[in-house]
Amino acid sequence: MRSLTLGKRILASDRGLESRQTFDERWLAEAVRLREQAEGMQPDGILLARLRASHEGVEARIIARAREIGTRWGMDESIRRWVSRERLVAWLLAAVAVLAGFGAALAVLGEGGRPVNVVWALGGLLGLHLLGLTAWVVALGLTGGHSGGVPGRVWQAIAARFAVGGNAEAVGRARLRLHARAGLERWWLGAVTHGFWFMLLLGMLLGLVGGLALRRYGFVWETTILPTAVFEGLVASLGWLPSLLGFPVPDAELVRASGDVALASEAARWTWSMWLVGCLLTYGLLPRLGLWAFCGWKVAIGRRRLRLYPDDPAFSALAERLSPSSERIGVSDAAPERLETAHVVAPHQASGAAMVVGIELDSTRVPWPPGWVHGVSDGGIVDSREQRARVLATIEASTPARLLLVCDPRLSPDRGSLALIAAMSVHAGACAVWLAGADAVSGSERLQHWLDALAELGLAGSAVFTEEATAMEWLGYVG
């Protein structure tokens, strides 16, 4: 027997093969793992055999297995419903934010019966936003920003609240674990938080522009102890960035004149109005839009780099089953000192109908049942321990005169399969093995190992077939 050590070769091949996988597929794989962790592993012998024979990387095999099991459980549909529900909640929160911002802007402006204090108006429009933004930046620097912001947490809680179905818990936990593993939770919730604030400020901008367009407002600034120069500097400083976008800045003369009474000049009203709009846009909407885009970019980059590494404790056991660290080309388990010898002499009580049984076959490669088994008992495909016990009991009870066992030579022969062949042959008048699809591995070491292993088991060369026609003739089939 010769062994191939996979180790680094697996990881190297995965870099090219697994880049095709999407985040949703990895999400599904993690959700399936969590449910199997709670309920136990699903029977997957045939699936594992097919995946181990594939040329995909380890992560791609994990995802392919999860895709098949997840579809069986309806977990892929649960993920789609989860995403749709989150989008719905996000749109509802966005609508609430726009309406709240619109109302807040109208409240700041008032009904137009009295002048608008520009300092209080600006504070009312930007105060909570700047406070929340400062808190988010500080949390990002001190704690890594794990909270993601209050709006993000609220959105997440509401979406999870409406989760229904048996897969909901596993689906929700799976994404949290993937995001935590890649450090994406803060950026994911941060994107939601900044998106919420952007919609709130957008509502404020709409309310501000709408109010200014439909009502006539006068603008003043008021103080008891501060000199005029303070407000002149404040207005000029805050107006510098908006002026780069083309918004006007009240000059010192206009600031001084507005400290006494609201000016009746249309030019003064327009200048103050555009100064407020420019400050709201420059210090409110644009920073939130930029942070939303930045967080979304971080999430997109992190998700593309995310991998289900074989050495991850969560997937190491499954990765070992799908691609063991040392895979043998020949018999995959060490042989015992003595294997039960296959029975090739027909016992006198073997009078049952001929039977055909598949051993760990992939029905996508070897169609089952074979189209030529009319008049021959179909023993089915043996994969799990329960199926082995059932088929052995059936063979023992029916004692078929001829038993044809169909194996896939693209898989390595293992001790369990060989022992099963030997156990089945004891209760048959004659036993033979058909290596279906041998032409695909013709001349390979793997096929030769099958022939050698079956010979050691006691099956003569005349009872091992590599062609369908020969197996049909031995089984006694008449077309």
For the chain, the average pLDDT equals 78
Are the CB atoms for 316 and 225 separated by under 8 Å?
no
Higher pLDDT, 470 or 102: 102
Are the CB atoms for 282 and 242 separated by under 8 Å?
yes
Are the CB atoms for 291 and 190 separated by under 8 Å?
yes
- Angle 178-145-31 (CA atoms, 0-180°, nearest 5)? 15
Render pLDDT for 93-110 as a digit per residue (tens, 0 to 9): 999 999 999 999 999 988
Q: Among 19-28, 340-349, 367-376, whose mean pLDDT is lowest?
A: 340-349
Q: Taking residues 378-390, report their average pLDDT.
A: 80
Tokens of 139: 């949390």
Q: Thinking of the domain 355-475, which architecture would CATH place it in? A: 3-Layer(aba) Sandwich (3.40)
- Rounded Cα gap, residues 407 and 418, in angstroms: 10
Question: What Cα–Cα distance (Å) separates residue 320 from each residue in 18, 40, 58, 410?
Answer: 17, 17, 9, 19
Tokens of 125: 């429009």
211-241 burial: b if 16+ Cβ within 10 Å, else e: bbeeeebbbbbeeeeeeeeebbebbeebbee
- Rounded Cα gap, residues 374 and 372, in angstroms: 6
Domain residue spans of the chain = 76-305, 355-475
Render pLDDT for 277-316 as a digit per residue (tens, 0 to 9): 999 999 999 999 999 999 999 999 988 888 877 666 667 7
- Rounded Cα gap, residues 127 and 284, in angstroms: 10
Tokens of 6: 């996979």
**What are the start-end ranges of the H helices in 18-74?**
23-39, 45-52, 58-73
**What are the start-end ranges of the H helices in 245-285?**
252-257, 266-280
Are the CB atoms for 233 and 240 separated by under 8 Å?
no
Residue appearing with tokens 């050698």: 452
Q: What percent of the chain has pLDDT over 70?
A: 80
Is the pLDDT reported for residue 324 higher than 70?
A: no
Higher pLDDT, 332 or 477: 477
Helix (H, G, I), strand (E, B) or coil at 215: coil
Instruction: Indicate left, alpha or beta for 426 from its phi (over 0: left) and psi (-120 to 50: alpha).
Output: alpha
Render pLDDT for 187-222 as a digit per residue (tens, 0 to 9): 888 888 899 999 999 999 999 999 998 888 888 887
- Rounded Cα gap, residues 191 and 151, in angstroms: 10
Are the CB atoms for 179 and 152 separated by under 8 Å?
no
Please give the pLDDT value at position 351.
67
Tokens of 220: 């003043």
Question: What Cα–Cα distance (Å) separates residue 476 from each residue in 366, 460, 470?
Answer: 21, 18, 10
Are the CB atoms for 463 and 402 separated by under 8 Å?
no
Please give the pLDDT value at position 295.
92
- Please, how many CA atoms are within 13 Å of residue 387, restricted to the half-sphere of its CB? 16
